[in-house]
Amino acid sequence: MNTYIILLRGINVSGKNKILMADLRNLLAALRFKNVQTYIQSGNIILESEKTKNEICSIINKVIKTKFGFDIPVLVKTITELEKIIKNYPFSLENDKIVAFCFLYNPTAETTIDVKNRIEDQYKIANDVVYLNCKSGFGKTKLTNNFIENKLSVIATTRNLKTTLKLLALAKE
């Protein structure tokens, strides 16, 4: 049995694509996923399964579409993958309020993004993640999830350091 961290794109954001996490947990448990947990209301799931990552993505996408009517991108990471992403963060982790990870649903060969007026904000693209250090704050940064998606032509979902570390800790329990 493998433990997976699932990140859903665009759940419960600004009142759109509303799914109660209790309903989602029950639905996934009914599909025979084991030890299903969710964290906060933004589409973070930890579960155990013998299925592959691709099978999990497909199953969860289909069941959300059928049950709730939303075509939601689903990203699956293993504990090892998430540990590596955190370990490879290239900037200071000192101020956790400015640290985030933009998880890409497909790897990219791009290494730079044309960002005008990005002030002190830093980023690094590494295959399937964009590491973010937003000194201007997430409310002011140009390096938003939508901006990154548009510039790299990929689907992405962003999590801050606190959420990412919590998901890893829950997955390791």
Helices (H), 31-144: 53-68, 79-87
Quick check: 11 and 72 in contact, CB under 8 A? yes
Instruction: Report the C-alpha gap between 57 and 45 in whole angstroms.
Output: 12
pTM of the model: 0.92
Statement to judge: residues 90 and 141 lie in one domain: yes
Helix then strand count (H, E) for the chain reads 5, 8
* Residues 6+ positions from 24 with CB-CB distance below 8 Å: 38, 45, 64
Encode the chain (173 residues) as per-residue pLDDT tens digits.
Answer: 999 999 999 786 766 788 888 999 999 999 999 999 999 988 899 999 999 999 999 999 999 999 999 999 999 999 999 999 999 999 988 887 889 999 999 999 999 998 876 678 899 999 999 999 998 788 888 899 999 999 999 999 999 999 999 999 999 98
Are residues 145 and 86 both part of a single domain? yes
Q: What is the CATH number of the domain that holds 53?
A: 3.30.70.1280
Spell out the residues 6+ positions from residue 119 whose beta carbon is closer than 8 angstroms to its own: 135, 136, 140, 141
Two structure tokens written together for 47: 């579960």
Judgement on whether residues 86 and 156 belong to the same structural domain of the protein:
yes
**Structural contact between residues 142 and 116, judged by C-beta atoms closer than 8 angstroms:** yes
Same domain, 30 and 41: yes
Q: Are residues 48 and 99 in the same domain?
A: no
Residue 70 and residue 26 share a domain: yes
Residues whose CB is less than 8 angstroms from the CB of residue 128 and which lie 6 or more positions away in sequence, other chains included: 103, 104, 105, 106, 107, 108
| 28 and 56 inside one domain | yes
Quote the pLDDT of residue 14.
66
Q: Are residues 11 and 37 in the same domain?
A: yes
> Do residues 104 and 146 both lie within one domain?
yes
Domain check: are 97 and 70 in the same one?
A: no
Domain that holds residue 148: 80-160+168-172
Whether 143 and 84 map to the same domain: the answer is yes
Longest CA span, the chain: 48
Domain boundary among 79, 112, 139: 79
User: Are 54 and 107 contained in the same domain?
Assistant: no
What is the number of domains present in the chain?
2
Domain edge (last residue) among 15, 45, 79: 79
Nearest CA among 117, 121, 129 for reference residue 154: 129
Residue 57's alpha-carbon distances to 25, 74, 93, 122, 123, in angstroms, are: 15, 5, 30, 31, 27
